[in-house]
A and B are shown apart, each in its own frame.
Chain A
Amino acid sequence: MEEKKRPWLPFPDPLGIAEKLTENTPIQLKDPIRSILKEEQSPSKINPDATVPEWVFKARGDPERVKRLLERGFIP
């Protein structure tokens, strides 16, 4: 997989999960990964009342995501 050219990135990131919002901000993981990593999940925390928000469909259809999943034999 060809990695995007990001001269500010000092380490390999073939999955493209690192981002830098502005020139002066530090490198961080993209959301929603960043939010998910904040705390461990457990089945007791399943929220059966949470409907799936609109951003999920948009996130599913991200062209880079679609490409990566199809390359691995997944349907995105």
Chain B
Amino acid sequence: MILPEQRFYQDLIAQFCSKYNLGKPPAKLELLDKNQYPIETGDTEMLTSYLVGKDKIVLSPTIFELPGIVLHELCHHFQALRLGLIEYAKRYKQLLKTYGYDSHPYELEAEEFAKKWWVEFASLIKQKMEE
């Protein structure tokens, strides 16, 4: 089941990318319900994830409570655009072996990106909620 609120987030991300000249938005953004999300992604922590082969961000209902978690995935999308989807996936795995998750350069960059853009992103959410 695709949640109707998916459109809100698709527009939000597209506007955010455009407003701040960040680059092309992801090819797809999907919001899954609480039952489908962990089955499709394997993410039992119910966060967000980036399906690199399809350039798709997948959201769980946690996005309502913590809307900023999507920024982390958005950064993975931009990283993938820089290197190309296939090369990025390969490089991500190589770096994971070397650095682990906590010191992975792409993960640290994604965390920095999320912190850097949170205020602007939150402001855009408020603006869209008032529309």
Contacts and interface: CB of A to CB of B under 8 A. Distances in A.
Interface of A: 15-17, 30, 32-33, 36-37, 41-43, 45-53, 56-57, 59-63, 65-66, 68-76
A56 B66 contact: yes
Interface residues of chain B: helix, strand, loop or mixed (majority): helix
Contact of A15 (B42, B100, B111): B42
A72 B126 contact: no
Given A48-B125, A49-B122, A74-B50, A69 B44 contact: no
Nearest to A68: B42
Interface residues of B, number: 50
B34 A37 contact: yes
B45 A65 contact: yes
23 contacts: A15-B38, A17-B38, A30-B44, A41-B61, A41-B64, A43-B5, A43-B8, A46-B63, A46-B64, A46-B67, A46-B125, A47-B65, A52-B114, A60-B101, A65-B44, A69-B42, A72-B41, A73-B52, A73-B53, A74-B41, A74-B49, A74-B58, A75-B92
B16 interface: no
Given A32-B62, A66-B101, A60 B47 contact: yes
A60 B122 CA distance: 21
Given A52-B69, A60-B72, A75-B89, A45 B42 contact: no
A49 B108 CA distance: 23
B72 to A, nearest CB: 7
Q: Which of B43, B53, B62, B102 has the most CB of A within 10 A?
A: B43
Q: Nearest 6 CB-CB pairs, A to B?
A: A68-B42, A61-B101, A41-B64, A48-B125, A59-B45, A41-B61
B69 A48 contact: no
